[in-house]
Amino acid sequence: MKILLKRILFLVAVIALWQGVYSAGVFPDIAFPPPVDVYYALIEGFGDGTLTKALLASFKHLLYGLPISIILGTSIGVLLAKSKQADETAGMYLIALQSIPSIAWVPLSLLLFGFNEMAVIFVVVIGGIFVMALNTRTALRNVPSSFKKAARTMGVNGLELFFKVEIPASVPHFMTGIRLAWAFSWRALMAGELLSNGPGLGYSLTYAFDFARVDVVMAIILIIGVIGSTVDHLVFSKLEKTVMKRWGLL
Protein backbone atom coordinates (compact mmCIF):
# COMPACT_ATOMS: atom_id res chain seq x y z
CA MET A 1 0.00 0.00 0.00
CA LYS A 2 2.84 2.35 0.89
CA ILE A 3 4.59 1.62 -2.42
CA LEU A 4 1.37 2.29 -4.34
CA LEU A 5 0.95 5.63 -2.55
CA LYS A 6 4.51 6.61 -3.41
CA ARG A 7 3.93 5.78 -7.07
CA ILE A 8 0.71 7.79 -7.17
CA LEU A 9 2.40 10.79 -5.54
CA PHE A 10 5.29 10.55 -8.00
CA LEU A 11 2.84 10.46 -10.91
CA VAL A 12 1.00 13.52 -9.55
CA ALA A 13 4.33 15.33 -9.22
CA VAL A 14 5.26 14.50 -12.83
CA ILE A 15 1.89 15.76 -14.12
CA ALA A 16 2.26 18.93 -12.04
CA LEU A 17 5.75 19.50 -13.46
CA TRP A 18 4.41 18.86 -16.97
CA GLN A 19 1.66 21.45 -16.43
CA GLY A 20 4.18 23.87 -14.96
CA VAL A 21 6.45 23.62 -18.00
CA TYR A 22 3.46 24.18 -20.28
CA SER A 23 2.20 27.17 -18.28
CA ALA A 24 5.68 28.73 -18.27
CA GLY A 25 5.71 28.66 -22.08
CA VAL A 26 9.08 26.91 -22.28
CA PHE A 27 8.01 25.24 -25.52
CA PRO A 28 5.48 26.40 -28.13
CA ASP A 29 1.94 25.05 -27.67
CA ILE A 30 2.06 23.19 -30.98
CA ALA A 31 5.04 21.16 -29.76
CA PHE A 32 4.17 20.67 -26.09
CA PRO A 33 0.48 20.18 -25.20
CA PRO A 34 -0.85 20.36 -21.62
CA PRO A 35 -1.80 17.16 -19.75
CA VAL A 36 -5.54 17.85 -20.14
CA ASP A 37 -5.25 17.87 -23.96
CA VAL A 38 -3.46 14.53 -23.90
CA TYR A 39 -6.15 13.16 -21.59
CA TYR A 40 -8.90 14.22 -23.99
CA ALA A 41 -6.91 12.74 -26.90
CA LEU A 42 -6.88 9.41 -25.05
CA ILE A 43 -10.63 9.63 -24.39
CA GLU A 44 -11.28 10.48 -28.04
CA GLY A 45 -8.97 7.77 -29.39
CA PHE A 46 -10.42 4.97 -27.28
CA GLY A 47 -13.93 6.36 -27.68
CA ASP A 48 -13.94 6.15 -31.48
CA GLY A 49 -11.91 2.92 -31.48
CA THR A 50 -8.85 4.17 -33.38
CA LEU A 51 -6.41 3.64 -30.51
CA THR A 52 -8.03 0.32 -29.61
CA LYS A 53 -7.60 -0.98 -33.16
CA ALA A 54 -4.01 0.25 -33.28
CA LEU A 55 -3.23 -1.40 -29.94
CA LEU A 56 -4.75 -4.73 -30.99
CA ALA A 57 -2.81 -4.63 -34.28
CA SER A 58 0.46 -4.04 -32.42
CA PHE A 59 -0.25 -6.96 -30.08
CA LYS A 60 -1.00 -9.15 -33.10
CA HIS A 61 2.40 -8.31 -34.61
CA LEU A 62 4.05 -9.03 -31.26
CA LEU A 63 2.25 -12.34 -30.76
CA TYR A 64 3.52 -13.49 -34.15
CA GLY A 65 7.06 -12.18 -33.82
CA LEU A 66 7.97 -12.75 -30.16
CA PRO A 67 7.51 -16.56 -30.08
CA ILE A 68 9.56 -16.87 -33.29
CA SER A 69 12.37 -14.77 -31.82
CA ILE A 70 12.35 -16.83 -28.60
CA ILE A 71 12.43 -20.16 -30.48
CA LEU A 72 15.12 -19.10 -32.95
CA GLY A 73 17.15 -17.27 -30.29
CA THR A 74 17.05 -20.27 -27.97
CA SER A 75 18.14 -22.59 -30.80
CA ILE A 76 21.05 -20.32 -31.71
CA GLY A 77 22.06 -19.99 -28.06
CA VAL A 78 22.06 -23.76 -27.55
CA LEU A 79 24.14 -24.25 -30.70
CA LEU A 80 26.71 -21.68 -29.60
CA ALA A 81 26.87 -23.07 -26.06
CA LYS A 82 27.32 -26.68 -27.15
CA SER A 83 29.49 -26.24 -30.25
CA LYS A 84 32.93 -24.70 -29.84
CA GLN A 85 33.31 -24.32 -33.61
CA ALA A 86 30.02 -22.45 -33.93
CA ASP A 87 30.83 -20.20 -30.99
CA GLU A 88 34.29 -19.32 -32.31
CA THR A 89 32.89 -18.40 -35.72
CA ALA A 90 29.30 -17.13 -35.53
CA GLY A 91 29.37 -16.43 -31.79
CA MET A 92 31.77 -13.51 -32.08
CA TYR A 93 29.27 -11.64 -34.29
CA LEU A 94 26.34 -12.03 -31.91
CA ILE A 95 27.21 -8.93 -29.87
CA ALA A 96 27.70 -6.93 -33.08
CA LEU A 97 24.25 -7.92 -34.32
CA GLN A 98 22.68 -7.18 -30.95
CA SER A 99 24.19 -3.68 -30.93
CA ILE A 100 22.42 -2.72 -34.19
CA PRO A 101 19.37 -0.54 -33.37
CA SER A 102 16.06 -2.07 -34.36
CA ILE A 103 15.14 0.83 -36.61
CA ALA A 104 18.25 0.13 -38.71
CA TRP A 105 16.63 -3.15 -39.80
CA VAL A 106 13.47 -1.43 -41.05
CA PRO A 107 14.77 -0.45 -44.53
CA LEU A 108 15.98 -4.02 -45.12
CA SER A 109 12.65 -5.48 -43.97
CA LEU A 110 10.76 -3.14 -46.31
CA LEU A 111 12.95 -4.19 -49.23
CA LEU A 112 12.46 -7.88 -48.41
CA PHE A 113 8.73 -7.89 -47.64
CA GLY A 114 7.37 -4.55 -48.87
CA PHE A 115 5.07 -2.20 -46.96
CA ASN A 116 3.05 -4.85 -45.16
CA GLU A 117 2.73 -6.55 -41.78
CA MET A 118 5.38 -9.16 -42.57
CA ALA A 119 7.98 -6.38 -42.60
CA VAL A 120 6.93 -5.35 -39.08
CA ILE A 121 6.98 -8.94 -37.80
CA PHE A 122 10.47 -9.40 -39.26
CA VAL A 123 11.72 -6.39 -37.27
CA VAL A 124 10.09 -7.78 -34.12
CA VAL A 125 11.84 -11.13 -34.62
CA ILE A 126 15.19 -9.45 -35.20
CA GLY A 127 14.65 -7.27 -32.14
CA GLY A 128 14.40 -10.21 -29.73
CA ILE A 129 16.36 -13.01 -31.33
CA PHE A 130 19.91 -11.92 -30.49
CA VAL A 131 19.31 -11.04 -26.84
CA MET A 132 17.57 -14.39 -26.42
CA ALA A 133 20.51 -16.19 -28.02
CA LEU A 134 23.01 -14.39 -25.76
CA ASN A 135 21.07 -15.25 -22.60
CA THR A 136 20.57 -18.87 -23.61
CA ARG A 137 24.28 -19.27 -24.32
CA THR A 138 25.16 -17.64 -20.99
CA ALA A 139 22.61 -19.79 -19.15
CA LEU A 140 24.04 -23.06 -20.46
CA ARG A 141 27.62 -21.97 -19.89
CA ASN A 142 26.89 -21.03 -16.28
CA VAL A 143 25.56 -24.44 -15.29
CA PRO A 144 27.80 -25.42 -12.34
CA SER A 145 30.34 -28.04 -13.33
CA SER A 146 29.62 -29.84 -10.04
CA PHE A 147 26.12 -30.61 -11.33
CA LYS A 148 27.52 -32.21 -14.46
CA LYS A 149 30.17 -34.17 -12.57
CA ALA A 150 27.61 -35.48 -10.11
CA ALA A 151 25.32 -36.55 -12.95
CA ARG A 152 28.16 -38.29 -14.81
CA THR A 153 29.11 -40.27 -11.72
CA MET A 154 25.55 -41.63 -11.77
CA GLY A 155 25.87 -42.62 -15.41
CA VAL A 156 24.02 -39.66 -16.94
CA ASN A 157 25.61 -38.49 -20.20
CA GLY A 158 24.83 -37.05 -23.63
CA LEU A 159 21.28 -35.92 -24.32
CA GLU A 160 20.08 -37.22 -20.98
CA LEU A 161 22.58 -34.95 -19.23
CA PHE A 162 21.46 -32.00 -21.38
CA PHE A 163 17.73 -32.45 -20.76
CA LYS A 164 17.81 -33.59 -17.13
CA VAL A 165 20.63 -31.41 -15.75
CA GLU A 166 21.70 -28.55 -17.99
CA ILE A 167 18.26 -27.33 -19.07
CA PRO A 168 16.71 -27.32 -15.54
CA ALA A 169 19.81 -25.57 -14.15
CA SER A 170 19.70 -22.87 -16.83
CA VAL A 171 15.99 -22.02 -16.48
CA PRO A 172 16.53 -18.85 -14.35
CA HIS A 173 18.83 -17.28 -16.96
CA PHE A 174 16.45 -18.48 -19.67
CA MET A 175 13.56 -16.63 -18.03
CA THR A 176 15.66 -13.47 -17.89
CA GLY A 177 16.28 -13.93 -21.60
CA ILE A 178 12.54 -14.16 -22.31
CA ARG A 179 11.92 -10.99 -20.29
CA LEU A 180 14.61 -9.12 -22.21
CA ALA A 181 13.39 -10.53 -25.53
CA TRP A 182 9.93 -9.13 -24.75
CA ALA A 183 11.36 -5.68 -23.98
CA PHE A 184 13.57 -5.59 -27.07
CA SER A 185 10.81 -6.93 -29.31
CA TRP A 186 8.34 -4.32 -28.01
CA ARG A 187 10.79 -1.54 -28.85
CA ALA A 188 11.53 -3.08 -32.23
CA LEU A 189 7.79 -3.33 -32.93
CA MET A 190 7.37 0.42 -32.49
CA ALA A 191 10.37 1.09 -34.76
CA GLY A 192 8.97 -1.19 -37.45
CA GLU A 193 5.48 0.30 -37.30
CA LEU A 194 6.77 3.87 -37.54
CA LEU A 195 7.70 3.35 -41.18
CA SER A 196 4.94 0.90 -42.09
CA ASN A 197 1.57 1.43 -43.76
CA GLY A 198 -0.21 0.37 -40.61
CA PRO A 199 -2.06 -0.62 -38.66
CA GLY A 200 -0.41 -0.30 -35.26
CA LEU A 201 0.58 2.16 -32.54
CA GLY A 202 3.78 3.14 -34.34
CA TYR A 203 1.89 3.89 -37.55
CA SER A 204 -0.71 5.90 -35.61
CA LEU A 205 2.13 7.86 -34.04
CA THR A 206 3.50 8.80 -37.48
CA TYR A 207 0.01 9.59 -38.75
CA ALA A 208 -0.68 11.93 -35.81
CA PHE A 209 2.68 13.66 -36.33
CA ASP A 210 1.95 14.22 -40.03
CA PHE A 211 -1.26 16.05 -39.08
CA ALA A 212 0.40 18.00 -36.24
CA ARG A 213 -1.73 16.26 -33.57
CA VAL A 214 0.88 16.53 -30.86
CA ASP A 215 -1.69 15.68 -28.20
CA VAL A 216 -2.29 12.34 -29.93
CA VAL A 217 1.48 11.83 -30.31
CA MET A 218 1.96 12.29 -26.55
CA ALA A 219 -1.03 10.05 -25.83
CA ILE A 220 0.39 7.20 -27.93
CA ILE A 221 3.83 7.62 -26.34
CA LEU A 222 2.17 7.25 -22.93
CA ILE A 223 0.29 4.14 -24.09
CA ILE A 224 3.50 2.55 -25.38
CA GLY A 225 5.28 3.21 -22.08
CA VAL A 226 2.38 2.06 -19.91
CA ILE A 227 1.85 -1.15 -21.90
CA GLY A 228 5.56 -1.98 -21.83
CA SER A 229 5.83 -1.36 -18.09
CA THR A 230 2.55 -3.11 -17.20
CA VAL A 231 3.22 -6.28 -19.17
CA ASP A 232 6.75 -6.50 -17.80
CA HIS A 233 5.57 -5.97 -14.21
CA LEU A 234 2.49 -8.18 -14.27
CA VAL A 235 3.76 -11.01 -16.47
CA PHE A 236 7.48 -11.35 -17.10
CA SER A 237 8.80 -9.86 -13.86
CA LYS A 238 6.50 -12.02 -11.73
CA LEU A 239 7.34 -15.10 -13.80
CA GLU A 240 11.05 -14.44 -13.42
CA LYS A 241 10.76 -13.94 -9.65
CA THR A 242 8.68 -17.11 -9.31
CA VAL A 243 11.36 -19.12 -11.10
CA MET A 244 14.13 -17.50 -9.05
CA LYS A 245 12.34 -18.41 -5.80
CA ARG A 246 11.66 -21.94 -7.02
CA TRP A 247 15.36 -22.38 -7.81
CA GLY A 248 16.39 -20.87 -4.46
CA LEU A 249 18.02 -17.76 -5.94
CA LEU A 250 15.86 -15.25 -4.04
- Is residue 199 helix, strand or coil? coil
**What pLDDT does 249 receive?**
64
Q: How far apart are CA 180 and CA 11, in angstroms?
A: 25
* Tens digits of pLDDT across the chain (250 residues): 777 788 889 888 999 999 998 898 888 888 889 999 999 999 999 999 999 999 999 999 999 999 999 999 999 999 988 888 888 888 778 888 888 888 889 889 988 888 888 999 999 999 999 999 999 998 888 887 887 788 788 877 877 888 888 888 888 888 888 989 999 999 999 988 888 787 889 999 999 988 888 999 999 999 999 998 888 888 888 888 888 788 776 6
Letter for the amino acid at 212? Answer: A
pLDDT confidence of residue 42? 93
- Quote the CA–CA distance of 159 and 40 in Å, as a whole number: 59
Measured in whole angstroms, how far is the alpha carbon of residue 201 from the centre of its chain?
15
Angle between helices 201-210 and 167-194 (to 10 degrees): 20
d(CA 53, CA 46) in angstroms, rounded, equals 9
Asked whether 35 and 215 are in contact (CB, 8 A), the reply is no
In angstroms, rounded to a whole number, what is the distance separating the alpha carbons of residues 150 and 158?
A: 14
| CB of 222 closer than 8 Å to CB of 204 | no
